[in-house]
Amino acid sequence: MMQPDAPSLILKRCRSAYGEVPTFLDYSSSFELLVSVILSAQTTDDQVNRCAPVLFATYPDARSLADAESEHLESLIKSTGYFRAKAKNIKAAAQYLIEHFDGLVPDSMEQLVLIPGVGRKTAGVILHHIYGKPAIIVDTHFGRVCRRLGFSRYEDPVKLEQDLAVIFNPEDWSDCSMLLNLHGRRICQARKPRCADCFLIDLCPSAIIAP
């Protein structure tokens, strides 16, 4: 069972341990970040960062990407996996931006999730990193850590997001998302969590110390 003061203590310790956490993707514009997050599905951020420079040198904005030849686009992002579906999504996203937002990336959850290939996670990344707005960003690492800490029992991202929105104040949503994500990558890993090395062990109802 989660201790009443556990959320605030966990966030405090994570801030102390990790400091300010940047995005895990390299980008120089809101458009680049939007495309990179779409590409990051079912692959690593490092893999996206390796193919992104050539992709954005060739297609630096929504207009150029919207007009891209699909086969050429697929060849540039093939290493990220599911490249045909991703090429279709990022091309459709670029076309949508041109048609509805003059090529610019909007700044609200309601508008962002209308873009092809953009769900609440991608929208949350944009809101946090580009516009500095509160956002709970639910990905695999974040969801796993939240369930282990007892913040939520849900696998469904929307339900998990709703639980976290009650536990934490809006001004802490973005920090909570990024810090627990990083904790999941470094310590609270999926197959073999490093409980013996975890600074949250006394607050975690799922902690296991391997013999």
How many domains does the chain contain in total?
2
- What pLDDT, on a 0 to 100 scale, did the predictor assign at position 211? 39
pLDDT of residue 1 exceeding 80, the answer is no
Look at residue 114 and tell me if it is in a domain. yes
The verdict on 104 and 44 lying in the same domain is yes
Q: What is the 3-state secondary structure (H, E, C) of 165-179?
A: HHHCCHHHHHHHHHH
Kindly give, in sequence order, each residue whose CB lies less than 8 Å from that of residue 57, ignoring residues fewer than 6 positions away.
none
Q: What is the CATH number of the domain that holds 189?
A: 1.10.1670.10
Last residue of a domain, one of 91, 109, 129: 129
Nearest to 25 by CA among 1, 5, 55: 55
The verdict on 37 and 115 lying in the same domain is yes
Q: Is-catalytic flag, 12?
A: no
pLDDT of residue 209 exceeding 70, the answer is no
Pick the catalytic residue from 86, 91, 139, 175: 139
Q: Say how far apart CA 195 and CA 74 lie, in whole Å.
A: 41
Instruction: Provide the residue range defining the domain that includes 55.
Output: 30-129
The pLDDT > 70 percentage for the chain reads 98
Look at residue 209 and tell me if it is in a domain. no
The pLDDT > 90 percentage for the chain reads 93
The verdict on 34 and 125 lying in the same domain is yes
The verdict on 51 and 119 lying in the same domain is yes
pLDDT per residue over 48-81, tens digit each? Answer: 999 999 999 999 999 999 999 999 999 999 999 9
The verdict on 69 and 84 lying in the same domain is yes
Q: Using alpha carbons only, what angle is made at residue 115 by residues 129 and 157, rounded to the nearest 5 degrees?
A: 65
Q: Say how far apart CA 196 and CA 66 lie, in whole Å.
A: 49
Mean of pLDDT over the chain? 95
The verdict on 98 and 151 lying in the same domain is no
Pick the catalytic residue from 12, 61, 78, 121: 121
Residue, of 22 and 37, whose pLDDT is higher? 37
Last residue of a domain, one of 129, 151, 169: 129
pLDDT per residue over 167-185, tens digit each? Answer: 999 999 999 999 999 999 9
Look at residue 211 and tell me if it is in a domain. no
The verdict on 118 and 41 lying in the same domain is yes
Last residue of a domain, one of 129, 160, 190: 129
Q: Is-catalytic flag, 61?
A: no
pLDDT of residue 18 exceeding 60, the answer is yes
